[in-house]
Amino acid sequence: MKHRIVHTLQKYFLNPPIKLALAAGLPLPGYALLETKGRKTGKPRRTPVGDGRIGNQFWLVAEHGMKAGYVRNIERDPHVRMKLREGLKYHWHTGAAHLLSHDDPRERQRWLATHLPSSAGECKGSAPFRDTTPEYSN
């Protein structure tokens, strides 16, 4: 019941304005945009997530664990893109996500809280993302 209520609130009331702001390039501290490939349609699916960047890795702790749509999409195809804030602008980064099904999500959340400026939400699963975007130098 809790999952259904939280999912409905996030899907229809909380995520749409955040997704719109991120798509428009508005700087929203603490947020990033995850793009996965839909497991059934193959279409790009974009989901606002907390900014979990640590170095060249990006950590997500899925509030709904394996029930989260983006986690099931990653399970089908781990190739993802992340729209990450750099200063006042956002840039797309490509990479591969790895689901850590045996990771302790509560312990991972505590670990992230020590490495990130802010970390919120109940957690049930975690997944690191390694940035594979080529770096260019002038």
Write the CATH number for 22: 2.30.110.10
In a domain, 92, yes or no: yes
Tell me how far CA of residue 48 lies from CA of 104, 134, 138, in angstroms: 23, 24, 32
Residue 122 has pLDDT above 70, yes or no: no
In a domain, 47, yes or no: yes
Q: Tell me how many domains the chain contains.
A: 1
In a domain, 16, yes or no: yes
Q: Which two tokens stand for residue 114?
A: 């020590």
In a domain, 38, yes or no: yes
In this structure, are residues 51 and 84 in contact, taking their beta carbons and an 8 Å threshold? yes
The arithmetic mean of pLDDT across residues 4-31, rounded, is: 85
In this structure, are residues 53 and 91 in contact, taking their beta carbons and an 8 Å threshold? no
In a domain, 137, yes or no: no
* Alpha carbon distance 26, 5 (integer Å): 28
Give residue 95's Cα distance to chain centre: 12
In a domain, 90, yes or no: yes
Q: 54 - beta bridge partners?
A: 57
In this structure, are residues 76 and 109 in contact, taking their beta carbons and an 8 Å threshold? no
At 120 the pLDDT is 42
Residue 105 has pLDDT above 80, yes or no: yes
In a domain, 136, yes or no: no
Tens of pLDDT, residue by residue over 20-46, are 888 888 878 888 999 999 999 999 999
In a domain, 138, yes or no: no
Q: Which domain holds residue 20?
A: 2-131
